[in-house]
């Protein structure tokens, strides 16, 4: 049964970031999922970017049910209500889109929908459609200044930039200093250095370092 919108988003915001990941190899995906869980993360966004994505998503869901029952698995890069429904039926507990797609508001009847927005108008429309956590994308183009500008006129929104978020203190300080609720982090965290060598412990340490930085910059 899907978790309530409030509880999933509370985990995302309290943790400070959601890992965003895709890889065509099943073993790599399972290893990364395990590293995230062992490092203390309880949400995981698997993106729908390859021919094998849905198959791997189902494997991840089975693994979570058997070994990590408190992990919330979400599906990212979702562009239609029909594809969202397919992933929700397969166990997705939140849905993330790179764009603002009005028909996707129907997803909110079942699980949280986090739409991607790149303008103030899109952010406002997403909020009007019912989204309570909004993805700012592409983050590397918009930057922390965009976050500050949006929050200056809509201060009660919860924003999550994805793209351009790096696992270092300077970058995370800039984002959280601008007022973000949490961040999405993918390829800059899960580099080939960790994936090719399958360095489980080193990846766990890297994730834990990111979590510690986020805790510290939030206290400022």
**DSSP alpha helix (H) spans, 53-159:** 53-67, 81-89, 120-129, 139-153
Supply φ then ψ for residue 96, to 5 degrees.
Answer: -120, 135
Cis peptide before 138 (omega within 30 of 0): yes
Q: What per-residue confidence (pLDDT) applies to 176?
A: 98
| Domain ranges (residues) in the chain | 5-218
Among candidates 96, 130, 141, 146, which has minimal Cα distance to 116?
A: 96
Q: What per-residue confidence (pLDDT) applies to 5?
A: 56
Q: What per-residue confidence (pLDDT) applies to 1?
A: 37
**Each residue's pLDDT tens digit, 178-198:** 999 999 999 999 998 888 766
**Each residue's pLDDT tens digit, 109-123:** 999 999 999 999 999
What CATH number was assigned to the domain covering residues 5-218? Answer: 3.20.20.70
Q: What is the Rg, in whole angstroms, of the alpha carbon atoms belonging to the chain? A: 16
Q: What per-residue confidence (pLDDT) applies to 197?
A: 67
**Percentages of the chain per state (helix, strand, coil), in multiples of 5:** 55, 15, 30
Q: What per-residue confidence (pLDDT) applies to 3?
A: 46
Residues ≥6 apart with Cβ < 8 Å to 167: 185, 188, 189, 206, 209, 210, 213
Q: Are 44 and 36 in contact (CB under 8 A)?
A: yes
The answer to whether residue 98 scores a pLDDT higher than 60 is yes
**Each residue's pLDDT tens digit, 35-89:** 999 999 999 999 999 999 999 999 999 999 999 999 999 999 999 999 999 999 9
% of the chain beyond a pLDDT of 70: 96
Q: What per-residue confidence (pLDDT) applies to 127?
A: 97
Q: Which two tokens stand for residue 190?
A: 């899960």
Query: pTM score, two decimals?
Result: 0.95
Residues ≥6 apart with Cβ < 8 Å to 209: 167
The answer to whether residue 107 scores a pLDDT higher than 90 is yes
Q: What per-residue confidence (pLDDT) applies to 168?
A: 97
Residue 21 to residues 103, 129, 205, 209, Cα–Cα distance (Å):
25, 27, 17, 18
Mean pLDDT, the chain, integer: 94
How many residues belong to the chain?
220
């Amino acid at each position: 049964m899907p978790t309530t919108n409030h509880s999933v988003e509370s985990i995302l915001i309290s943790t400070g970031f959601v890992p965003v990941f895709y890889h065509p190899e099943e073993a790599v995906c399972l290893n990364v999922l395990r590293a995230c869980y062992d490092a203390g993360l309880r949400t995981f966004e698997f993106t729908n970017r390859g021919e094998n994505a849905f198959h791997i998503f189902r494997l991840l869901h089975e693994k979570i049910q058997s070994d990590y029952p408190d992990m919330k698995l979400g599906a990212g890069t979702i562009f239609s209500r029909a594809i969202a429904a397919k992933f929700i039926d397969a166990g997705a507990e939140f849905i993330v889109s790179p764009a603002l797609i009005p028909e996707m508001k129907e997803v909110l009847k079942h699980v949280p929908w986090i739409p991607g927005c790149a303008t103030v108008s899109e952010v406002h429309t997403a909020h009007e459609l019912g989204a309570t956590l909004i993805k700012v994308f592409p983050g590397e183009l918009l930057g922390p200044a965009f976050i500050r500008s949006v929050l200056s006129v809509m201060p009660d929104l919860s924003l999550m930039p994805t793209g351009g978020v790096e696992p270092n203190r300077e970058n995370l300080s800039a984002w959280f200093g601008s007022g973000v609720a949490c961040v999405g982090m993918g390829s800059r965290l899960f580099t080939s250095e960790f994936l090719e060598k399958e360095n489980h412990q080193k990846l766990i340490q890297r994730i834990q370092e990111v979590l510690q930085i986020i805790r510290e910059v939030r206290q400022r």
